[in-house]
Structure 1
Amino acid sequence: MISHSNIKSPSEKVLFSVDDFGVATVTLNNAEKHNAFDDSIIAALDNLFTAIAKCDDINVMVLASSGKSFSAGADLGWMKRMAGYSYDENLADANALAQMLKSLNFLPQTTIAKVQGAAFGGAVGLASCCDIVLASNKASFCLSEVKLGLIPATISPYVVNAIGQKASRRYFQTAERFFADKAQQLGLVDEVYPLDELDNAVSTMVTTLLTNGPLAVRQAKQLAFDVAYQDINETLIKNTSERIAAIRVSTEGQEGLTAFFEKRQPTWQATHQNSAKPTTSTNKGEG
């Protein structure tokens, strides 16, 4: 494991910061191009997510962006270069994007996407990979690949998981633009807020998460991955029973149970509530 103090912003276009509560913010900072990403930004994000995953002192990661748009998806210059690539070069390029999405999806920390504006193409994949998606009422979404004669291939497992097969069959084929209220109905977005309330909404969600046992939160996320779509058989029952037994006798589990019966705050909650409220701004400072 490493400390977040060893992680720096990889470039001016991908910023990284951590507050005193262990809340990391990764910010796409390419506003003049609507936070479109290319191979270099994808590599920077993958390296950053891989490093964050190794940090015990990071509890929550907020994925945000600067400017009006969350992300326009693939950068036009990158797409123009890809058009001239061979099949093998395109395969390597696609694998890099797929690996970055996998790193984000399976990050052990809780991930929150803060979507303030348009999220097109691969940006829908980024949102789909996050545990919680909070959007402004100005946000819009589009799986636009078929308009270019392409398909949303690498993001498809995560988008289908977020909105289901039926909705994916429609929006993969139509490339219709839909807005935050529809995205919430589909399950892509969890909550929608007025734009000027989005920062506070993210901070409130972070505070909610920080009142919970940090080890329990990580294990609860992994539990959702591990039991989804599994047959409820003796093997699964044995596994889940072993998990709850192990965490009950863990240091954190014992502290949580003892605090509950003693009608006091557990140590992790008291620590956070005795300090200032966590922030989730997109400032350019480094952790």
Structure 2
Amino acid sequence: MSEILIETAANGVATVTMNRGEVHNAFNEQVIADLTAAFGKVGADPAVRVVLLRGVGKSFSAGADLGWMKKMAGYSHEENLTDAMGLAGMLRALDECPKPTVAVVQGPAFGGGVGLVSACDIAIGVETATFALSEVRLGIIPAAISPYVIGAIGERACRRYFLTGERFSAAEAHRIGLLHEVVGADGLEAAVAATVKNLLDSAPTAVSAAKELVRAVARRPLTDAVVRDTAERIARQRASAEGKEGIGAFLDKRNPSWRS
């Protein structure tokens, strides 16, 4: 049985599922490679408009697989570096996926699982989910996931949770920005469906361009080059076929071609 499943619905919603429920969807080197390939595949598929990331079973993802951790304990520095670069590359592939990504957090997310949630554009979780960046309790640090976690929850929250390794609730995850929405277990699918509808109601290339815009502008000083770059981006989008269709539909009081 495949440990990473990809399904694409007729409406363009692709679901990437971590299918390792028996080990709480923990990573090993093969799972990391398969996730990297999956994110590349859905990102390059012109039929895909939205990507959902899910885990089967009780947990979203427990981070590193115990067997993988035992192997790492015997690795040389170079072997550890190669291994860590694989994880970093997988997270980057998710972060840079040109399609909007939604983490559907049905259960706990620890360590690298928090990295997956952070690297998605949108994260929706159940109120019973718990989270932890517990690497320091194992004598290591959450380095590969840190760019995405710091981007999601900020430096101040990371100064606490990176250092203490303590667990925190879905309510706290929402407060610090890791989750955009917290719902009861029976409301998870409805919340995901509502988010998917909002994404599908938006112009597909504009959504990708907006995602890239955030990456281009975030955490950069407001220089003349940044101002020029933002102006160039909106000019390109306005002049595109999609931009003309969207503005024309608004003026004509009709639905644009991408909205059913």
Bucket of the pairwise TM-score, normalised by the shorter protein: over 0.9
TM-score, normalised with respect to structure 2 = 0.98
For structure 1, the 5+ residue unaligned runs are 1-10, 271-287
Q: Could you tell me which residue of structure 2 aligns to residue 5 of structure 1?
A: none
Structure 2 counterpart SS, 1:267: coil
Q: 2:191 aligns with which of 201, 207, 211?
A: 201
Q: Could you tell me which residue of structure 1 aligns to residue 134 of structure 2?
A: 144
- Percent identity, aligned pairs only? 50
- Output one character per residue of 1:157-204: Cα deviation in whole Å (capped at 9) or x when no partner: 111111111110111110110010000001000000001110111111
Alpha-carbon deviation of 1:235?
Answer: 1.9
Q: Could you tell me which residue of structure 2 aligns to residue 17 of structure 1?
A: 7
TM-score, normalised with respect to structure 1 = 0.89
Structure 1 counterpart SS, 2:116: helix
Structure 2 counterpart SS, 1:61: strand
Greater than 3 Å deviation, 4+ residue runs: none
- Output one character per residue of 1:48-80: Cα deviation in whole Å (capped at 9) or x when no partner: 112222122211100001111111110001101
Alpha-carbon deviation of 1:229?
Answer: 2.1
Alpha-carbon deviation of 1:240?
Answer: 1.5
Alpha-carbon deviation of 1:248?
Answer: 1.1
- Output one character per residue of 1:4-30: Cα deviation in whole Å (capped at 9) or x when no partner: xxxxxxx62111100011110000111
Alignment of 1:214-233 (within 5 A): 214-233=204-223
Alpha-carbon distance between aligned partners in 2 of 1:230 and 1:13, rounded to the nearest angstrom: 38
Asked if residue 190 in structure 1 is aligned to residue 180 in structure 2, the reply is yes
Q: Could you tell me which residue of structure 2 aligns to residue 274 of structure 1?
A: none
Asked if residue 43 in structure 1 is aligned to residue 33 in structure 2, the reply is yes
Alignment of 1:156-171 (within 5 A): 156-171=146-161
Q: Could you tell me which residue of structure 2 aligns to residue 284 of structure 1?
A: none
Q: 1:111 aligns with which of 91, 96, 101?
A: 101
For structure 2, the 5+ residue unaligned runs are none
Alignment of 1:236-255 (within 5 A): 236-255=226-245
Q: Which has the higher contact order (CA 8 A, sep 6+)?
A: 1
Structure 2 counterpart SS, 1:171: helix
Alignment of 1:29-178 (within 5 A): 29-178=19-168
